[in-house]
Chains A and B, each alone.
Chain A
Amino acid sequence: MSGNEAMAEGAIEAGVGFCASYPGTPSTEITESLMRSASDRGIYVEWSTNEKVALEAASAASWVGIPALCPMKSLGLNVAADFLLNLNLSGSGRGGLVIVVCDDPEGHSSSNEQDSRFYAKAAMLPMLEPSTGQEAREAILHAFDLSRRHEVPVIVRSTTRLSHSSSLVSVGPLPRATPVASSSFPRGLFNVPRPAMKHRELLDKIRLVAAEFEQSTLNRLNASPDTKTLLISSGICQRYSEEALALVGTENTGSLGLVTTNPIPAGLIEKAIARVDRVLFVEETDPFLEDEIRSLSADLSVPGRPRFYGKRTKTLPAWGEMSVDHVVEALSAVLGVPHEKELQPAQDARARGAKLLIPRPLTFCAGCTHRNVYWALRQEKKRRGGRLVVAGDIGCYSMGVFYDEAMNTMQAMGSGIGTACGLGQLGRFGFESAVVAVAGDSTFFHACLPALVNARHKNANLTFLILDNETTAMTGFQSHPGSATQDKGQRRISIRDLVQAVGPDYMTTSDSIEISPLVELVHTAIAKDGLKVLILKGVCRLEQQRRGVLHEDLRRVSVDPALCRGEKCKICFSQFGCTAIGWLPKEKRATILDEVCVRCASCIGVCPYKAIRRE
């Protein structure tokens, strides 16, 4: 099973009763996996509107004795951090609360590669970093046990390579009983009037946890009295270190694999580094352990402190993902032994091969309505002589940044409308561009509401486009409050009604399939002053395919060779760029690739010569 499935398995074995989460790669499958067992095992599982709400809901369950799990991706913990840094002091109650945060070193599916371990340090919470699927299951069990006994949330930190790789996992017995809420509500779930006292209490709890971590069997020291070089690693990096040692290690090398990484098991570490000459830190993404252990060693009275190597010494790269290859290279450098570079042979052939390769780049699907909206924005930008700024957000439509940079900014969930609030006030300083913010439907519920209210309250001059395809498309079609289909017992919330309540100066709902009216609507809205909101109904073609909606019943779309202006125009092919529009090099004209085309006919409005039509 995958690392994510192993964590879900661990939670089920630990008797989890409540799970709240917001989808985000690479964490999504933990919750999805629990959802599959939910009805059989009486577990309540929800996709919350955002990670802060999820953590708040999960804490409530734990407060009344229900074991609760809150999985999220790295960036999600930023959203939940405000609550987390209060909850640590208030405590998480008797049920036990485990937060799983899945980091994404290299940012394969993220807009950054943040190291979320610093939150464990900031919140002074226990943290575990398992290195295999087996350990992931065990870490979750251990985390629940720890959380219940000390009444603090426990963070289990995974990374993409652990979450998304599969291995053998031995499982244990499942609990028989479903958890029952305690009859009385615990007292003192607030930090005032003396947060400092609560802080002191937390420090006391963490001291007890630290003592347990010293003895934890999850940490592994493989060293002998002869060990001169020690690799200290955590999480999946333990695997990289072990493999590197098998490749270039000597009898004088050893390893310390840490799973309990906050608070660090100082005694164990002191013992491990006492007699060695060199220590190499292997971890992702930042020098977290490296800095902790460097500062720990400053207090040591050991003469002949070892030399430390890691990201601080540039022995390993301080950015990007780790790999066996990186560790082999670093270890060879530390040991001063050459190693056989596996890629050394056939360098010429590799270079020739690299030249032949064509990338398969990130792009909107054929018929994606997001492309249509950006097309309209590109037309409007031309009309305004370039004076249009589009502040963007997180979702499939983030690809607007690759589409002739039709989207100019892209940071966090909800940041499009937030930054637009600022841009929309800059007219007074001579800022001349029209301001547009873009957000998707799930993102709208997740983080756009406070900024939208702010925009209204402060009379920001901006146009907010809500690209509503009625699903969380990017992460695999999870439901949200505005989804077209809702589970039993859930009630759909209308984006239109919500926006209406805020009172924009202008608001319209329209579809985004037909190009010409869309271009005009965008133009009309942007030309007006005040807060304008367009709810643009879109279609996710993948989701449609998933539902079994066939486009074969629609008539084909084709290019009339007599009307196509060929090389002189090429707008549909090289500017609009739907992947279903091809180019016939001999005939020098555009063509519709029927095997790719979803027959939406949006491109009809793109051709100035009316050469594209439905058959």
Chain B
Amino acid sequence: MHRSLSIQGHSSGVIHLEKPYNVLIAGVGGQGNLLCGRVLAEAAISEGHRPTIGETFGASRRGGTVFTHVRIGNRDLSPLIPRGTVDMLIGLELMESLRAAVDYCGEHTVAVVSTAIVQTMQCVPGAKKYPPLAGILDVMSSICASVSAVDPMGALGEAKYKRVLNSFMLGAALASGIVPLKADRVRDSLTRLMQPVDLNVAAFDEGLKATAVVQARDSTAH
């Protein structure tokens, strides 16, 4: 509990946000989705903003859809991002990124998504086929302003990526340069909140350097 935190007395250089900056983190339960939102929110606090975190989850327990809504502004906001007004979509899981795009993203959304997938209960036994990467990115690029797909498995290796996927994706999102937070602040906040620290910081820095494996921008949509 942050007994020392207060809304006054923050460092200089506060960016005054006229409109809230909306970050949606899409994934499935167990991917560290909420913690990811917490890291961004604490970084935002350290930069003098007043973030609000909301959460939506499907009617599922383990392995269900989880969206974390981080709204960075200067007053308490509705915990859920109004539809179509996501500024940054961080997709921890590919199909959940599509679900988030369909429900919440719009023509101003910059999406940074992981190509890593988590099979659904119906896909694992083979009852349904997981949608193809190209199909997902095609639809997403028609909804969003831009979509960058990064490959955490390729960057971190199969053994490691699941543990630090969220830190890596935070780095990749920050690398887009449009999140109104400094990478150093996010790294500090990550150092305070994520365990083990070294692995997560390394994954975050790896994410900052990540280059998109697919970059899609739909020129016809808007």
Contact = CB atoms under 8 A, between A and B. Distances in A.
A179 interface: no
Contact of A360 (B50, B80, B83, B120): B120
Contacts of A5: 1
B220 to A, nearest CB: 11
Contacts of A133: 76
Contact of B80 (A132, A166, A323, A358): A323
B139 A352 contact: yes
A171 B45 CA distance: 16
A433 interface: no
A243 B2 contact: no
Contacts of B106: 342-343, 345-346
B135 interface: yes
Given A239-B78, A328-B82, A362 B131 contact: no
A349 B142 contact: yes
B78 A243 contact: yes
Interface in B60-84: 60-65, 76-80, 82-84
A9 B1 contact: yes
Range class of the A interface residue count: 35 or more
A359 B3 CA distance: 41
B53 A168 contact: no
B172 interface: no
Interface string B78-97: 11101111000000000100
A213 B40 CA distance: 38
Contacts of A184: none
Contacts of B28: 360
Contacts of B126: 582-585
Nearest to B76: A132
A357 interface: yes
A579 interface: yes
B206 interface: no
Nearest to A357: B99
B121 interface: yes
Contacts of A211: none
B219 interface: no
Nearest to B131: A356
B97 to A, nearest CB: 10
Range class of the B interface residue count: 35 or more
B7 interface: yes
Interface string A171-185: 100000000000000
A166 B6 CA distance: 15
B130 A349 contact: no
A365 interface: yes
Contacts of A353: 98-99, 101-102, 136, 139-140, 143
Contact of B107 (A239, A345, A360, A363): A345
A342 B98 contact: no
A168 B51 contact: yes
B80 A349 contact: no
B113 interface: no
B199 interface: no
Interface in A390-436: none
Given A167-B52, A363-B121, 6 more contacts: A164-B54, A167-B51, A243-B82, A324-B82, A358-B123, A365-B61
12 contacts: A131-B76, A161-B78, A167-B79, A168-B5, A171-B1, A323-B80, A352-B139, A359-B122, A360-B64, A360-B121, A579-B124, A583-B125
Please name the 6 residue pairs, one residue from A and one from B, whose CB atoms are nearest each other, closest first: A342-B84, A165-B79, A349-B142, A356-B131, A353-B139, A132-B76
